[in-house]
Amino acid sequence: MSYWWIPAIILIALLFISFYKRYKMIKNMDSIAPESPNLKILTDQDYKKIVKHGLTLIDFWAPWCMPCKVQGPIVNEVADQMEGKANICKINIDENKRAAAEFGVRSIPTIIIFKDGNVVKKLIGVKSKNILIKEINRFL
């Protein structure tokens, strides 16, 4: 008697469990990390004033973007660690299209680092906390 179907059922069950865990993680991602008190939320009206002086990191994101939901808590940690050294900010590109268009943001998350109003670094995709802090320290 052949039992070839037993490994197939086990494989299907493992795949189902894996996909279900990812679904739950993504569904609950909004509640994972509250925004840091050191993080500034910018709009089309005020971003130029913030980037004009000093070092500023801006995370261009959207609420429907899964990689942005991964990047969000990382940016929060960077905001807490770099308090007083650099401005750490976020701009929702769905609500603030002018800022995204001005800097040519075509894919998100995009992180742009400004020094005294000039773009000094543009990072596309999810970046680790270490990479972001290394880039900020490079321009301090």
Single out the catalytic residue among 68, 99, 100, 136. 68
Q: Where are the beta strands (DSSP E) in the chain?
A: 39-41, 55-61, 87-92, 110-115, 118-124
- The whole-angstrom separation of Cα 88 and Cα 78 is 7
Single out the catalytic residue among 29, 33, 62, 65. 65
Determine whether 68 is an active site residue. Answer: yes
- The whole-angstrom separation of Cα 20 and Cα 136 is 37
Determine whether 89 is an active site residue. Answer: no
User: Counting Cβ atoms within 10 Å, is residue 1 exposed (0-12), middle (13-18) or buried (19+)?
Assistant: exposed
* 109 secondary structure, DSSP code: S
Place of tokens 């894919």: 107
Instruction: Report the catalytic residues.
Output: 65, 68
